[in-house]
Amino acid sequence: GGVSANRGLRDALRKTVTVPILMPAMQYCTDNAAMIAGLACIQARAGRFAALDLDAITHSAIARAAESCKSSNEG
């Protein structure tokens, strides 16, 4: 699971990267789905639910930087 388990990506990195890279063994590459589901279970048991009209908006610096680049390239 997850990006680190992507065999195509792992193979491409091995073929193209000229510096030593360390990748976790596949058994340690997990998807975040179980962790997200676990938190959802805790929240539901506590009676905390999001409104059905929830709009998921990212607040990450990467997303803001991407939007900034996109805006500057359009103008």
Q: What is the pLDDT of residue 74?
A: 65
- Concatenated DSSP letters for 18-49? -S------GGG---THHHHHHHHHHHHHTT--
Q: What is the pLDDT of residue 73?
A: 63
With bands split at pLDDT 50, 70 and 90, how would you rate the model's confidence at 12? very high
Q: Distance between CA 30 and CA 73 in Å, rounded?
A: 36
Q: Give tens-digit pLDDT for 21-75.
A: 999 898 888 878 888 899 999 999 999 998 888 877 766 677 777 777 776 666 5
Predicted TM-score (pTM) of the model is 0.43
Q: Distance between CA 34 and CA 11 in Å, rounded?
A: 26
Domain chopping of the chain, boundaries: 3-74
Q: What is the pLDDT of residue 40?
A: 93
Q: What is the pLDDT of residue 29?
A: 85
